[in-house]
Structure 1
């Protein structure tokens, strides 16, 4: 038996839940479609449940199977017609996707969310909606609470700067087929291009007529048709398990996440190749094998602007590399659930690691982490990233908010412990 065959035979198989990005986009498109759509293997987490409940609050009929294998959504065939108050909780996609959808309907809709979500900007989106004729009133700092006095949208031509978040653009485009005329959006700046590609692919899957040419996207009226969809495992969540395999020198496979994936964050596996890990992306699965002993190669610079949700995964394990690593292109990560560059840098310093940061970059130097309390900032990705550092370094890192992982993967700690039993040390300390 060859080494590769032996590794494959002994590979750990990770149970990764469905993609949050796919689940919430599919929920919105199903809500706008004519008929009933079945979303199979959806992510069941704080963010997706908040999104589903927000749809219910504006009159969309949803139902679930007893074990959440499938969520059924009966759409309106257009915009919503049940105005009221909508609680978005911590879900940024709800705050960015639902107001444009509401603007295509009728009545007054008020969107609000947690203090954390209120701090996240909405200005580019609200300005674009206003230019299209929507009546929008934002909160004191230009974000939530947001009121939309809806009377339908006629379409038109608008410029939307998406240099801070691609979610503004995705939200506006998904509302496009519900307008009475074509919508053309000029996009002078765009971060996280793979998320736009995901949005366009799903819109087409639900029957939208959308085209793109030289930085301009055009959506034609016509609405959506109900569609059944199987949700892929979440590639962002998979990054923590790929990283865990790399730092422990083991082989791990994520079934259902392969070369046909709609998710750009699968590219994180290719980033791990720079560290000396072996990566195989097949048609229906992806496998990562870490080097023996888990000692990884550093001494490189990588632009992770298009996969910024995974930059923390790399930065958190970078102290275990044999050379420094610089991650660039991530300025927009300062405007997520937390200022993620600052949060990662501060936590690594608390672990005794040398770190340098700039407006859009972070450099992490090799070092031996020391025991520390990790400030999660109520940010699921901070918690999951530093859990992997604790696993790989065998140093007792204490997460100050281990439960915040429920935003995207409530069973994260349990699954990491199932695959890597030594993580029980970390889990005991966290609880």
Structure 2
């Protein structure tokens, strides 16, 4: 059965930023309409960048001026980490006073590497407690030049700086050092080039971005590969078959590599040019270790179904996942143990042993990915899982529960 997976959050918010920075009107087709993307869109509107929605939000038209915003504004980022990391560098290339703020959850997430980078570029900033939000920015343009960025905590800092770089007077040459979630940087660079950016990357990892305005562009958003991981995993544990149209070999999203992990558990996986299909193929196989550092938004999907495997599964490389909407490593361990599953937790890893889950109420920590991951386990073992906050899925996949029901519970 074909799954209706909404558009990619990562693509939608990057495209909104690039369209805002472009000279002219861009059309973003099939955008994700969710709490995070609506917060991003509204923050742009507050900054004087109008975003006009087409009928049924089937497309968004963004009118940019080819430069950073001007004036005074108080952008509200809600829970959206991408808004808090992408918008300040863009605003710094403009002129005016901008006060960025967000929810208590977002205020607790780290901003230090971004603040240090913007200060190194000459930006006038007053961060909140712990170098986080609220963040007051007095913008007067950015000269640009050479910069080193700590990207060991999140790739979003680097993506935000890269996307703002063409609007800097001298462009930017960035040395990245340790980098997590490399596929998201590849996505950012590919999209920048689609909007006409002059970008070069050297063998030592230095990225050079020349100063020049972005070109307005018409572009379609792919389905979200991170969100697709839940329907793929559900097929694997129920013996069903699910196809996600629009996600194939040309996808810009590294998280599609989650299906390679499912293949290791024994699922049948077929990735074609324009669609990906997963079929469950009996009990899950375990007994392996997998580094999911580059696809860490999907590690929880694997962790939630790992108890159903025939041997332990160890997930490594996910230390930075402790700094997301929740401490995701600790939260997964906590909830798996509540289900009676033996789980061993390390700073950057999680080992899950086979077991029969017992009924438990899952603590979602206002984290959409925890809710969706454990929903898949509950689908495989009915009556096992209840969520303390089922509505938190609205952050990225508002129709998640209805879609899972349509695919796996209402189907003949």
TM-score (norm 1): 0.94
Partner of residue 359, structure 1: 347
The SS at the match of 2:259 is helix
In structure 2, the partner of 1:251 is 241
Q: Once the 2 structures are TM-superposed, how far is the Cα of residue 278 of structure 1 from its aligned partner?
A: 0.7
Q: Which residue of 2 aligns with 1:7?
A: none
3-state SS in 2 of match to 1:144: coil
Gaps of 5+ in 1: 1-11, 424-431
Which residue, 11, 14, 21 being the options, matches 2:10? 21
**Does 2:75 match 1:86?**
yes
Residues 201-255 of structure 1, C-alpha deviation per residue, up to 9 Å, x if partnerless?
A: 0000000011111111111100201000000000000000000000001111000
Contact kept in structure 1, 2:26 and 2:218, CA below 8 Å: yes
CA distance, structure 1, for counterparts of residue 248 and residue 73 of structure 2: 41
Aligned partners of 2:65 and 2:81: how far apart in 1? 23
- Counterpart residue number, 2:224: 234
- 1:216 is matched with 206
1:296-319 CA distance string (max 9 Å, x none) = 000000000000000000000000
Look up the match of 2:250: 260
Moved more, 304-313 or 210-219: 210-219
Alpha-carbon distance in 2 for matches of 1:422, 1:228: 37
Q: CA deviation at 1:119?
A: 0.3
Q: Is the 8 A contact 2:357 2:384 kept in 1?
A: no
Q: How well do the aligned residues superpose, as a CA RMSD in angstroms?
A: 0.8
The one of 176, 186, 198 equivalent to 1:197 is 186
State the alpha-carbon separation in 1 of the partners of residues 261 and 170 from structure 2.
42
Which of these residues, 285, 292, 306, is aligned with residue 294 of structure 2? 306
In the other structure, the counterpart of 1:348 is 336
Aligned mate of 1:33, from 13, 22, 39: 22
CA distance in 2, matches of 1:76, 1:405: 34
CA displacement at 1:401 relative to structure 2: 0.1
| Partner SS for 2:284 | coil
Counting matched residue pairs gives 410
Q: Deviations over 1:244-288 (max 9, x none)?
A: 000001111000100000000000001100000010000000000
Q: Secondary structure at the match of 2:354?
A: coil
Q: Secondary structure at the match of 2:209?
A: strand
2:148 and 2:381 map into 1 onto residues whose CA distance is 47
Cα distance in 2, alignment partners of residues 422 and 368 from structure 1: 25
Q: Deviations over 1:384-414 (max 9, x none)?
A: 0000000012233110000000000110000
- CA shift, 1:422, in A, is 6.5
Q: Partner of 2:312 in structure 1?
A: 324
Secondary structure of the equivalent of 1:35?
strand
Q: Distance in 2 between matches of 1:30 and 1:357?
A: 42
**Cα shift at 1:141:** 1.2
What is the match of residue 363 of structure 2? 375
Q: Secondary structure at the match of 1:86?
A: coil
Runs of 4+ residues deviating >2 angstroms: none
TM-score normalized by the length of structure 2: 0.99
